[in-house]
């Protein structure tokens, strides 16, 4: 077994269990999402953890839908969750649903009744809340607590049979109304809810509570290490109590800290509000911290995995800098994305000494970081476009791009010098007239001229118009969920800017949805799923500048 000192606390537990022969060294985890929304970056961390541990220890990981609450769950969410887990690169051993265990869970409840460990309570929610007591203040027993076993069994069967309206009765575990842990003061384990369930339809009108379903589901699946977030730490004694009383497979629960990332929201409920109230275009809006949003934005799955591994697991909650995630995105895309030329805000240049009607095909590397990526041909002719801000009429010192009488290299092509600035009646620059140096061709430069600046360009004759969607942070504060007021008060007013003026090189005409590119000097971009050959659409994935790496070097 590994002696690695940098094992995280879960790996330490697992390795010591394996060493001690617990469960014959078997490791079986599960990822248990409630299908009530799309998964977000926090879930990605839980997925990487659960599937990652199973993989590392030659075990298995189940995908279990925790679908015990009929009113919030939908098949659309189930499908999106499966797509997200697959996209992240993981394979589940079994696709399971807590709702598949409804009959078994019902029988577990009957077993508790039989043992005198559960009873039907007719108290109102207010009465039960009053019975509960508080920290340091013991609760009081319900009037119905000592109902006979047979009566409880009959009432429970009647509840199942639909004899009572919602809320009329509940089944409670009979534990201890003075227990220091309030969750063990006779918790509700079944409630009546006449609601349609996305899988079981109208078969059931009583549903188990989370605490009664979760641990037993783990046990049914013989999960060895049930990993969940810290808010469930106080539920663990209840988890263990049910397992002990029912005498079923002893799964164990371990808790780690929820992951939050700055400028991101990690709550499905809150993300649902953004969708329903049209603050974003949908769950997969590229500004969303959902896995599907990140995918559409162009984040590679490998970058999300790298990020989750990098932040690891912790026992205390903290806000991870979004710069760490963006660092991972850049690092992955740097290795894989083809470098292409796109001019986002074009101004025309005319090479007055270049023959009209002539076209040259130049050779461009796709990605110098990846030799196998090859080269492509790009066309060059008399009329080109460059970035408007790569020209300055009155440049400051140390401006190494284009300006009157100054020279610059066009990437993969020639050195040009600006001779004349053409303006319209309002004084706006419409064209730049330049000379090109025929001896300065990239790869075969005999001109002897040295210029400091290299700028990108596109050929006017075959450049393709494109829409480029530029994104800023969705929130103005780094921790919107905990900032003052409602989190939606902190939505940034200009988180998306649509640019319809961009021109991209011809090779992008056939780029397909999801393809990722580096627009040289501009950042990483990917083809949006709404893109077509009639209207090319790109999403800005991330800029080139790496603020996080700089911070680390300080």
Each residue 223-242 as x (binds ligand ATP by CB under 6 A) or -, in order, gives: -----xx-------------
Residue 34 near ligand ATP by CB under 6 A: yes
**Exactly one of 147, 185, 259, 268 is catalytic; which is it?**
268
Is-catalytic flag, 79? Answer: no
| Nearest C-alpha neighbor of 252 from the set 297, 203, 219, 293 | 219
Cα separation, 549 vs 554, whole angstroms: 9
From candidates 28, 43, 185, 296, binder to ligand ATP by CB under 6 A? 43
To the nearest whole angstrom, how small is the minimum distance from the Cβ of residue 245 to ligand ATP? 24
Partner from Mg ion, ligand ATP, none contacting 468, C-beta within 5 to 8 A by type: none
Residue 42 near ligand ATP by CB under 6 A: yes
Closer CB to ligand ATP, residue 149 or residue 481?
481
Partner from Mg ion, ligand ATP, none contacting 300, C-beta within 5 to 8 A by type: none
Q: In angstroms, how far is CA 114 from the centroid of its own chain? A: 45
Is-catalytic flag, 34? Answer: yes
Residue 302 DSSP SS3? helix
Cα separation, 356 vs 439, whole angstroms: 18
Closer CB to ligand ATP, residue 196 or residue 269?
269
Closer CB to Mg ion, residue 43 or residue 522?
43
**Exactly one of 82, 132, 191, 258 is catalytic; which is it?**
258
Q: Maximum CA pair distance of the chain? A: 102
To the nearest whole angstrom, how small is the minimum distance from the Cβ of residue 292 to ligand ATP? 14
Cα separation, 172 vs 167, whole angstroms: 13
Residue 266 near ligand ATP by CB under 6 A: yes
Residue 479 near ligand ATP by CB under 6 A: no
Residue 268 near ligand ATP by CB under 6 A: yes
Closer CB to ligand ATP, residue 252 or residue 259?
259
Is-catalytic flag, 550? Answer: no
Cα separation, 542 vs 247, whole angstroms: 53
DSSP single-letter state for residue 410? E
From candidates 23, 29, 46, 217, binder to ligand ATP by CB under 6 A? 46
Cα separation, 455 vs 221, whole angstroms: 60
Cα separation, 119 vs 113, whole angstroms: 6
Are 528 and 469 in contact by the 8 Å Cβ rule? The answer is yes
From candidates 245, 267, 345, 435, binder to ligand ATP by CB under 6 A? 267
Q: Which residues of 406-415 are buried (b: 16+ CB within 10 A; e: fewer)?
A: bbbbbbbbbb
Residue 45 near ligand ATP by CB under 6 A: yes
**What is the contact surface with Mg ion in residues (CB under 5 A)?**
34
Residue 52 near ligand ATP by CB under 6 A: no
| Nearest C-alpha neighbor of 249 from the set 94, 22, 10 | 22
Total chain residues near ligand ATP (CB under 6 A) = 16
Q: At what angle do helices 210-220 and 102-114 cross, to 10 degrees?
A: 110
Are 421 and 429 in contact by the 8 Å Cβ rule? The answer is yes
Cα separation, 32 vs 226, whole angstroms: 10
CA distance between the termini of the chain = 37
From candidates 18, 23, 33, 185, binder to ligand ATP by CB under 6 A? 33
From candidates 11, 27, 32, 164, binder to ligand ATP by CB under 6 A? 32
Residue found by looking up tokens 């991972």 in the block: 328
Cα separation, 534 vs 500, whole angstroms: 13
Closer CB to ligand ATP, residue 261 or residue 511?
261
Each residue 56-75 as x (binds ligand ATP by CB under 6 A) or -, in order, gives: ----------x---------
Tokens found for residue 373: 């990526």
Can you give the binding site for ligand ATP, defined by CB under 6 A? 32-34, 42-43, 45-46, 66, 228-229, 258-259, 266-269
The residues assigned a catalytic role are 34, 258, 268
């Amino acid at each position: 077994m590994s002696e690695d000192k940098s094992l995280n606390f879960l790996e330490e537990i697992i390795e010591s269990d394996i060493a001690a022969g617990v469960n014959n060294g078997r490791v079986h985890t599960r990822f248990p999402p409630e299908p009530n929304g799309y998964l977000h970056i926090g879930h990605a961390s839980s997925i990487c953890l659960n599937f990652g541990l199973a993989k590392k220890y030659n075990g298995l990981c189940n995908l279990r839908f925790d679908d015990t609450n009929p009113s919030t769950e939908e098949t659309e969410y189930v499908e999106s969750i499966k797509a997200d887990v697959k996209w992240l690169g993981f394979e589940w051993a079994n696709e399971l649903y807590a709702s598949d265990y409804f009959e078994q869970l019902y029988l577990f409840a009957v077993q508790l009744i039989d043992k005198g460990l559960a009873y039907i309570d007719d108290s109102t929610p207010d009465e039960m809340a009053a019975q509960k007591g508080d920290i340091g203040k013991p609760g009081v027993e319900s009037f119905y607590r000592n109902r006979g076993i047979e009566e409880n069994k009959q009432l429970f069967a009647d509840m199942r049979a639909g004899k009572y309206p919602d809320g009329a009765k509940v089944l409670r575990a009979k534990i201890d109304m003075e227990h220091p842990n309030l969750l063990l003061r006779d918790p509700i384990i079944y409630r009546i809810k006449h609601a349609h369930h996305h899988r079981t339809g109208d078969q059931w009108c009583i549903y188990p509570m989370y605490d009664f379903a979760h641990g037993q589901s783990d046990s049914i699946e013989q999960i060895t290490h049930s990993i969940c977030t810290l808010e469930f730490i106080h539920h663990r004694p209840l988890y263990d109590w049910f397992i002990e009383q029912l005498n079923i497979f002893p799964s164990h629960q371990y808790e780690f800290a929820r992951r939050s990332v700055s400028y991101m929201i990690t709550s499905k409920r809150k993300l649902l509000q953004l969708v329903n109230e049209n603050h974003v275009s949908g769950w997969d809006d590229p500004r969303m911290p959902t896995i599907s949003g990140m995918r559409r934005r162009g984040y590679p799955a490998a970058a999300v995995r790298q990020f989750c591994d990098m932040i690891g697991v912790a026992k205390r909650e903290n806000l991870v800098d979004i710069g760490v995630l963006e660092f991972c995105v850049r690092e992955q895309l740097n290795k894989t994305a083809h470098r292409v030329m796109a001019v986002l805000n074009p101004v025309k240049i005319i090479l007055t000494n270049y023959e009209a009607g002539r076209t040259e095909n130049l050779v461009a590397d796709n990605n110098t970081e990846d030799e196998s990526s090859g080269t492509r041909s790009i066309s060059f002719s008399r009329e080109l476009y460059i970035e408007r801000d790569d020209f300055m009429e009155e440049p400051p010192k140390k401006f190494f791009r284009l300006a009157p009488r100054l020279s610059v290299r066009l990437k993969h092509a020639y050195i040009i010098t600006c001779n004349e600035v053409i303006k319209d009646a309002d004084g706006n620059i419409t064209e730049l007239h330049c000379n090109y140096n025929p001896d300065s061709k990239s790869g075969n430069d005999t001109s002897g001229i040295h210029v400091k600046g290299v700028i990108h360009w596109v050929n006017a004759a075959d450049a393709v118009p494109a829409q480029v969607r530029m994104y800023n942070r969705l929130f103005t504060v780094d921790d919107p969920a905990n900032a003052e007021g409602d989190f939606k008060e902190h939505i940034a007013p200009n988180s998306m800017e649509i640019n319809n003026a961009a021109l991209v090189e011809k090779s992008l005409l056939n780029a397909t949805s999801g393809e990722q590119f580096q627009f040289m000097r501009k950042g990483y971009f990917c083809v949006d799923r709404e893109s077509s050959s009639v209207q090319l659409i790109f999403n800005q994935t991330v800029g080139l500048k790496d603020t996080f790496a700089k911070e680390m070097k300080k």
